[in-house]
C-alpha cells in the first residue's frame, strides 16, 4: 500500500498550510483569555477596592484587627502586611492566576485576582 | 399496493441518494458513541460520504444526502429540534455552501482533501455563528475557536484522505 500522501495534490497542500497557519494564529486567544486583569479586595465579602494589574500600587485597607497593606505590581498582587496572628495571607505571597485568592480571616479581608472570565471556573454541558 | 390511492414511485436517483444517506447516517450514529474531549468536536465521518457523493454525482445529490443525514441522524440520536440539531444543520448548510464553491477549484491541483478541509472549516464557522447569535450570546464562546479549528484541520485532512481513497477504489472497480 502506497502512502496516502499521494492523495494530497499541490493545491491541497496550499489549503492545508493556509488553514494550519490560521489555526496557529488563533491559538493565542486561548492563552490570553485567562489573563489576570485586576485585584479585588473584599471585607466581609463586600468589595472595598479594585486595582488594575497593569500598574504598581500600594493601598492600605482597614480590617477587623487594624490596617492591612495590599501591594500590586504589573500582573500580580499580594497582601504585603496584615495584623493577623498567623500571617497566612501574607505568607501566601504573590497571586497571579485568575481566581487565586488570599484570605486574611482574622481581618475579615480577602484579596483575589479576577480574570476576564471570572464568573465561571468550570463549565458543564 | 396503494390502499388510499396515493403512490410514490421512487426513482433510481431516490434509491441512490437513500443508499448514500443511509451510509452517512450510520457513520453519524457510530461516531456519536466515540467519546470526545470537548462537546461539539466530532470527527464528522459522515462527511466522507458527502465528499464521495459530491465527486461522483454532483452538488445537488450531496445536499440531499447531507440534509437527510442531519435530519435522520438527529431523529435516531434523539436530538431532533434540540440545540445540537440546529448547530448540526447550520454546520451542514455552511459546509455545503462552501463545497458548492470549492468544487469549482481546478481538479488538477485541488482534490477531495481541499474540499474536506474547506468544508470542515465552513462547518465550524456555521456552527459557531449560530451558537454565538442564538445559544451562547457571549464572546467567551470564541475561546473555543482554536480547539474547533485544530479539530477541523485534523479531521478535515483525515476525512479528505479517506474520501480520496474511496474514490480511487471506486474508480478502479468501475474502470
| CA–CA separation, A101 and A95 (whole Å) | 7
Element spanning B48, H or E: helix B46-57
pTM over 0.95: no
The DSSP secondary-structure symbol of B82 reads S
Put simply, the chain B residues between 7 and 66 with a CB less than 8 A from any chain A CB are 39
Query: By CA distance, what is A24's nearest residue in B?
Result: B146
Q: N- to C-terminal Cα distance for chain B?
A: 39
pLDDT beyond 80 at B145: yes
Cβ A4 vs Cβ B102: under 8 Å: no
For residue B5, being part of any structural domain is answered with: no
CA B84 to the chain's CA centroid: 14
Cβ B28 vs Cβ B139: under 8 Å: no
pLDDT beyond 80 at A119: no
pLDDT at A1 (0 to 100): 46
Residue B85, domain CATH: 1.10.1760.20
Domain range for B156 is 12-174
* Domain locations in chain A as residue ranges: 8-33, 36-115
Q: Which residues contact B126 (CB under 8 A, 6 or more apart)?
A: B90, B91, B92, B93, B94, B95
pLDDT band at B120 (very low <50, low <70, confident <90, very high): very high
For residue B4, being part of any structural domain is answered with: no
CATH architecture for the domain at A36-115: Sandwich (2.60)
Parallel, antiparallel, or unpaired: how do β-strands A57-62 and A67-73 relate? antiparallel
Query: By CA distance, what is A124's nearest residue in B?
Result: B39
Question: Under an 8 Å CB criterion, which residues of A touch B?
Answer: 4, 7-12, 15-16, 19-20, 22-23, 26-27, 29-30, 33, 117, 125
Amino acid at each position: 500500500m502506497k502512502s496516502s500522501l499521494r492523495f494530497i495534490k499541490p493545491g491541497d497542500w496550499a489549503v492545508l498550510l493556509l488553514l494550519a497557519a490560521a489555526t496557529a494564529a488563533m491559538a493565542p486567544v486561548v492563552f490570553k483569555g485567562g489573563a489576570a486583569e485586576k485585584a479585588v479586595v473584599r471585607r466581609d465579602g463586600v468589595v472595598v477596592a479594585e486595582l488594575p494589574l497593569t500598574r504598581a500600587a500600594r493601598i492600605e485597607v482597614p480590617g477587623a484587627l487594624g490596617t492591612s497593606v495590599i501591594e500590586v505590581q504589573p500582573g500580580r498582587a499580594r497582601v504585603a502586611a496584615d495584623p493577623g496572628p498567623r500571617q497566612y495571607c501574607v505568607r501566601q505571597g504573590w497571586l497571579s492566576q485568575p481566581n487565586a485568592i488570599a484570605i486574611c480571616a482574622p481581618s475579615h479581608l480577602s484579596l483575589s485576582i479576577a480574570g476576564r472570565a471570572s464568573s465561571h471556573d468550570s463549565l458543564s454541558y | 399496493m396503494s390502499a388510499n390511492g396515493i403512490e410514490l414511485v421512487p426513482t433510481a436517483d431516490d434509491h441512490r441518494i437513500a443508499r448514500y444517506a443511509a451510509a452517512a447516517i450510520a457513520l453519524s450514529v457510530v461516531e456519536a458513541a466515540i467519546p470526545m474531549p470537548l462537546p461539539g468536536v466530532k470527527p464528522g465521518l459522515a462527511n466522507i460520504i458527502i465528499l464521495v457523493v459530491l465527486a461522483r454525482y454532483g452538488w445537488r445529490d450531496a445536499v440531499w444526502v447531507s440534509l437527510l443525514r442531519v435530519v435522520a441522524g438527529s431523529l435516531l440520536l434523539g436530538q431532533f429540534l434540540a440545540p445540537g440539531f440546529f448547530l448540526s444543520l447550520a454546520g451542514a448548510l455552511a459546509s455545503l455552501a462552501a463545497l458548492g464553491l470549492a468544487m469549482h477549484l481546478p481538479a488538477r491541483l485541488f482534490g477531495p482533501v481541499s474540499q474536506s478541509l474547506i468544508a470542515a472549516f465552513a462547518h465550524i464557522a456555521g456552527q459557531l455563528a449560530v451558537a454565538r447569535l442564538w445559544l451562547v450570546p457571549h464572546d467567551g464562546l470564541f475561546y473555543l475557536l482554536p480547539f474547533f479549528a485544530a479539530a477541523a484541520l485534523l479531521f478535515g485532512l483525515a476525512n479528505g484522505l479517506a474520501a480520496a481513497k474511496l474514490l480511487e477504489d471506486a474508480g478502479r472497480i468501475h474502470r
